[in-house]
Amino acid sequence: MLKKKNTLKLSIVSSLILSSIPAFALEKPKTMEDMWKIIEAQQKQIEALQNTKSLPEDVPVKTTATNEVKTLERKTDVLSQEVEKLRTNLAIPEEAKYKSMYGLGPAASKVYQVGKGLSIGGYGEGSYQANVADKGNAQNNADLERMVLYIGYKFTDKILLNTEIEYEHASTGEGTELKGEAEVEFASLDFFIDPIANVRTGLMLMPMGLVNRIHEPLFYFGNHRPEVEQRIIPSTWREMGAGLFGAITPNLTYTAYVTNGLNGVKSTSAGGTAGFSSDGIVEGRGGGSFSAAENFGYTARMDYDPSFVPGLTVGASGYVGKSGQNQQYLGQKINAFTQLYETHVQWKYRGLEFRALGSWGFIGDAALLSAANGQTIGSQNYGYYTELGYDILPLVLPNTTHYLAPFVRYEKLDTIAKAPNGFADDLTKDWQIFQVGLQYKPISNVVIKADYRNYVQKQGTHPDDFNLGFGFIF
Amino acid sequence: MTQINTLLFLLLFSLSSLSYAQIFYSKSEALELAFGKVQLENLSLFPEEADMVKIQQLAKTKLESGLFTFYVGKDGGKILGYAAIESENVRTKPETVMIVLTPEGELRNVYLLAFHEPPEYMPPERWFESLLKHPLTDLDFSKGVDGISGATLSTHSALNSVRKVMAVYQVMVKK
């Protein structure tokens, strides 16, 4: 078709209009917008010339017109090329020699850096929760669970800052209101060295499980994160430290961090650390707020994407470290050597999404910790879940870009899988959860969610709930 | 002390061996990769309103501009293929790909030129390869394209770019 060329060739005509050809293309416009305005104006002139082609033949005028149209055509081509150059220069350099200079001085990266130093994004999620059975004292509620701002800054092509600043439950509260939190979820500097080994330091998301690292609401089923990935593997779990990450082969990636360790001991001072509890290790997180660093924690993770099964990822991670933080109870030093391991598999194939994850934890000195914290802390804990969803919309509307996936999830967890000697198990911490729901995405950045969770405890009851909510990322 | 030594080692290691991992090709390198050292021509296209509607229907994504540029690789008078460079924001930062079509409009190559999100979110090369030779109608996550765990948004962005380029070719260039 080559419509543009045809359009221009057809425009061999006469006319008085030609006397008014502007000279604005002589000076190079400063921005893409300026240039685009000029191109549009030129296109209009060419169209105007076309419309006058029925005028009587007049050879001298026609010749002038042909020349002028050629001039216009040339100017349009030059400007189009300039626009393309500006557009692509925002993302990649024109020549390799400029690429190699990035990071060494501002001059070479001047054009490239336009608008790319600071970046802002974010996500949010909120839901209505109705307790539909075994309600007890639980209240139905509507909650803006998270509103998060991502702020990134690219200092150079090799040094990048990523931060996530989060408001939970919409407020830090006033008076006796329920209080949310404002917190830095992560703030880490990435140093890009080589695909095999890059360095990250700062307040970092711990690379364990599926949800902790990628926890935007678009990427997990249901209004609430799986309980296993909140109580057995804490989320959002972040600590101060440094580490390496990279790809050993294109299919095999790894992450390894050294961070401050967990703090398992309940503080006696007001506002101090809650430490480990019968609900698990979640309150032992440091979170970058004067985190105890007498003991360090060591975390490693590997993921493998086999080429022979497209869309499949299998992986595992582990955390080890003392959680005593050089503290004592009744004159006895608490080591509380803590281990947490998990393995996961994830498969996306066409509209199918499948996940399974299992996690096991071991806590040393559990009896001493239980005595210090005044509750039973399991010397072992575990949890696993599996879920399956399928985007059914293309089956009904083949050309749709919308997404509608029903899903099911089953979870089993026990934060006191083994009680230490001298302490009783708490069977209300042994849960099974059966969940079904629907996930609808009108575009890939927005999700509407509905789900129902049925909780079964080994002892006592837990409210079953229906949740209706939304999430977005930008 | 051992722990502090480990941290110091990591930091020293990082500062001593920095290189460039986010921009993989400059424009000139990319175009040479696509066609070799041959004559290149810019083909500027100005889709009209009706064309834009058709392109957007085929691409299932918005065409942001009324100007679209193909780089046409030529050997003498013979067209070797059409290339286009497209950037889309993944989360907050862009992913830039070059899409190369054969003279008949078949998807020949997709090259990742730059990726500014953390590398964990980067689609692997084999995912780009898995797109090749699929017709436009099959380039959909519910049809011929596999998702990548952990790279959902980046694969969506790349697929949108590929579909857009193929749709522009079909509406504006295909004879």
Q: What's the confidence (pLDDT) of residue A152?
A: 83
> How far is residue A95 CA from its own chain's centroid?
32
Q: With 80 as the cut, is the pLDDT of residue A276 above it?
A: yes
Q: Do A194 and B19 touch (CB under 8 A)?
A: yes
Report how far residue B131's alpha carbon sits from residue B108's, in angstroms, rounded to the nearest whole number: 9
Q: What's the confidence (pLDDT) of residue A74?
A: 77
Residue B160 lies in a domain: yes
Q: What's the confidence (pLDDT) of residue A223?
A: 97
pLDDT tens, residue by residue, A287-345: 998 999 999 999 999 999 888 887 889 999 999 999 999 999 989 999 999 999 999 99
CB A123 within 8 A of CB A444: no
Residue B15 lies in a domain: no
What is the enclosing helix (H) or strand (E) of A381?
strand A380-390
pLDDT tens, residue by residue, A425-445: 999 999 999 999 999 999 888
Q: What is the DSSP string of A72-140?
A: HHHHHHHHHHHHHHHHHHTTS-SSHHHHTTTTT-TTTTTTTTTTTSEEEEEEEEEEEEEEEES-TTPPP
Q: What's the confidence (pLDDT) of residue A209?
A: 96
Weakest mean pLDDT among A240-244, A422-426, B115-119? B115-119
Mutate which: A88, A347, A396, vs B, most B CBs within 10 A: A88
A33 touches chain B (CB under 8 A): no
- The partner residue sitting opposite A96, judged by closest CB among B26, B120, B125, is B26
Report how far residue B88's alpha carbon sits from residue A445's, in angstroms, rounded to the nearest whole number: 14
CB contact set of A182 (below 8 Å; sequence gap of 6+): A165, A166, A167, A168, A172
Q: What angle do CA B111, A394, A411 make, to 5 degrees?
A: 90
CB contact set of A97 (below 8 Å; sequence gap of 6+): none
CB A336 within 8 A of CB A363: yes
Residue B60 lies in a domain: yes
The dotted CATH code for A118-473 is 2.40.160.10
Q: What's the confidence (pLDDT) of residue A58?
A: 53
CB B125 within 8 A of CB A250: yes
More confident residue, A114 or B134: B134
Q: What's the confidence (pLDDT) of residue A16?
A: 30
CB A88 within 8 A of CB B65: no
Give how far Cα B80 sits from Cα of A369, B77, B83, B97, Å: 72, 9, 10, 19
What is the enclosing helix (H) or strand (E) of A243?
strand A238-249
Residues of A in Cβ contact (< 8 Å) with B128: none
Report the complex ipTM: 0.70
Give how far Cα A89 sits from Cα of A34, A313, B7, Å: 16, 35, 38
pLDDT tier at A85, thresholds 50, 70, 90: confident
pLDDT tens, residue by residue, A352-368: 999 999 999 999 999 99
What is the enclosing helix (H) or strand (E) of B5?
helix B2-16
Q: Do B146 and A121 touch (CB under 8 A)?
A: no
**Given its phi and psi angles, is residue A321 left (phi above 0), alpha (psi -120 to 50 degrees) or beta?**
left
Give how far Cα A466 sits from Cα of A142, A364, A440, Å: 12, 38, 16
Burial of B2 (0-12, 13-18, 19+ CB in 10 A): exposed
CB contact set of A160 (below 8 Å; sequence gap of 6+): A152, A153, A154, A189, A190, A192, B116, B118
What's this model's pTM, rounded to 2 decimal places?
Answer: 0.73
Residues of A in Cβ contact (< 8 Å) with B66: 40
Q: With 80 as the cut, is the pLDDT of residue A418 above it?
A: yes
Q: What is the DSSP letter of A232?
A: I
Q: How far away is chain A from the Cα of B25, in angstroms, using its nearest Cα? A: 7
Residues of A in Cβ contact (< 8 Å) with B97: none
> How far is residue B92 CA from its own chain's centroid?
17
Report how far residue A376's alpha carbon sits from residue A154's, in angstroms, rounded to the nearest whole number: 47
Report how far residue A76's alpha carbon sits from residue A5's, in angstroms, rounded to the nearest whole number: 12
CB contact set of B58 (below 8 Å; sequence gap of 6+): B136, B163, B166, B167, B170, B171
Single-letter code of the amino acid located at A154: K
pLDDT tier at B14, thresholds 50, 70, 90: very low
Of B82, B63, B64, give the one whose Cα is nearest residue B72: B82
Weakest mean pLDDT among A54-68, A99-113, A394-408, B31-45? A99-113
Tokens 């060494």 correspond to A104
- The partner residue sitting opposite A157, judged by closest CB among B13, B22, B119, is B22
Report how far residue A214's alpha carbon sits from residue A233's, in angstroms, rounded to the nearest whole number: 14
Q: Do B150 and A121 touch (CB under 8 A)?
A: no
Residues of B in Cβ contact (< 8 Å) with A391: 141-142
Residue B7 lies in a domain: no
Q: Which of residues 45-74 of A touch B (CB under 8 A)?
A: none
Report how far residue B78's alpha carbon sits from residue B82's, in angstroms, rounded to the nearest whole number: 12
CB atoms within 10 A of CB A185: 20
- End-to-end, the C-alpha distance of chain A in Å comes to 38
Q: What is the DSSP letter of B22?
A: S
Residue B91 lies in a domain: yes
Q: Which domain holds residue B125?
A: 20-173
Residue B3 lies in a domain: no
Tokens representing A328 are: 């004592």
Burial of A118 (0-12, 13-18, 19+ CB in 10 A): exposed
Mutate which: A32, A80, A92, vs B, most B CBs within 10 A: A92
A346 touches chain B (CB under 8 A): yes
Q: Which of residues 179-198 of A touch B (CB under 8 A)?
A: 190-195, 197-198
Alpha-carbon torsion angle A176, A124, A202, A228, nearest 10: 80
CB B96 within 8 A of CB B86: yes
- Among chain B residues, the shortest Cα distance to A90 is held by B87
pLDDT tier at A50, thresholds 50, 70, 90: low
